[in-house]
Amino acid sequence: RYRLSATMGLDGDIDEAFVYVLEVGPDGSPINPETVPRSDRNHIQVHYLPARRDPTDHIAYGTSALLGRLLRAVNWENEREKVKGFTDQISESLAANSSVNAFSSHLKKIWGTLHKGSYFTDPKITFVASEIEALLRHLSVSFSPGHDDNLVDFSQLSDGQKSMLYLSLVLSSQAVGRAVLAGEDDSFDPEKLRPPVFTLIALEEPENSLSPHYLGRIVNALNSMTSNEDAQALVATHAPSMLRRVDPEHIRYLRLTETRQSRIKKIQLPAKTDEAHKFV
């Protein structure tokens, strides 16, 4: 187990501590916890899906970060020269436009009157970066078919669809990292990818942006991801439609006490021989 504890000082400063819980007492409190080194913390990733109705900014950033980390870790050596040839052709074709040519001529003439020297004497307008790393900065996710266009950018999806896309990318990234760590996939550079040894996914009130019939699929996907011991999922919800899709043993009930402290409880299930067990 991995535990975060914190204490607040009189001046409002918060002192936090991350510890490994190797042994617990009868009441569940940790016994002789071990401090987690920072090097270990760097191998744990947390992905958070907020509850707000418009998660565009968060998901757009998260999508680009996930895809960028994956694609930057890919071995592109076999495709590098081919991509450079294609991008050079695109740039030359666009630069051959008469209007672009006219502007380039004026630019070169005026630049020559201002800049003197043996270097940087010939300015050219270029349209496409020839390096793969530069192209990866403009990556996106598109879907087909669309209602009107053949390709639809993910920014045109609904809030619920964006949430499902983000979750799909997280699960895909975790599956790739798991395969790389197990030595089953050598197409990625482990030093660049740095796959996590443990992944935590936190979903806050997914019912806000997803229809009830999607919630079951979300739960099934999370159960599949957490079937191994290298991942965990936390879902905060008030919706009965979400609770009925989760085993009662996995539910934790949180409430504030009179002293404004959070109390966490398990659901006390009746014995299987009890008549009440039929209704759980």
CA angle 257, 259, 261 (to 5 degrees): 60
Residue 233 has pLDDT above 90, yes or no: yes
Helical ranges in the chain per DSSP H? 38-41, 56-72, 77-95, 98-114, 132-136, 159-181, 190-193, 212-225, 240-243
1-15, 145-159, 237-251: least confidently modelled range: 145-159
For residue 276, the model assigns a pLDDT of 65
pLDDT digits (tens, 9 = 90+) for 92-140: 888 888 888 888 888 889 988 888 888 888 887 777 666 777 777 777 7
By DSSP bridging, strand 231-236 and strand 198-204 are: parallel
Calculate mean pLDDT across residues 209-232: 87
Q: What percent of the chain shows pLDDT beyond 70?
A: 93
Cα 127-85-65 angle, rounded to 5 deg: 65
Contact 195, 180 (CB under 8 A): yes
**How many Cα atoms sit within 13 Å of 249 on the Cβ side?**
1
Instruction: Identify the pLDDT of residue 52.
Output: 65
| pLDDT at 53 exceeding the cut of 60 | no
For residue range 144-155, what is the model confidence (pLDDT) as tens digits?
877 777 778 777
pTM score: 0.73
- The distance of Cα 72 from the centroid of its chain, to the nearest Å, equals 15
Say yes or no to pLDDT of 234 above 90.
yes
CA 274 to each of CA 246, 271, 278: distance values in angstroms, whole numbers, following the listed order:
21, 5, 8
Q: What percent of the chain has pLDDT over 90?
A: 5
pLDDT at 12 over 60: yes
Q: Is the peptide bond before 145 cis (omega within 30 degrees of 0)?
A: yes
Kindly state the tokens that stand for 198. 């443990």
Helix (H, G, I), strand (E, B) or coil at 255: strand
The yes-or-no verdict on residue 55 having pLDDT over 60 is no
Model confidence at 279, in pLDDT bands (50, 70, 90)?
low
Whole-number pLDDT of residue 95: 81
Q: 47: burial class by Cβ within 10 Å (0-12, 13-18, 19+)?
A: buried
Give the model confidence (pLDDT) of 255-274 as tens digits: 888 888 888 888 887 777 77
Q: What is the pLDDT of residue 235?
A: 93
Domain locations in the chain as residue ranges: 1-36, 43-279
What pLDDT is recorded for position 202?
Answer: 92
For residue 157, is pLDDT > 90?
no
Tens-place pLDDT, residues 176-215: 999 999 889 888 888 888 889 999 999 998 888 788 888 8
Give the model's pLDDT for residue 236: 92
The tokens describing 71, both together, are: 């694609």
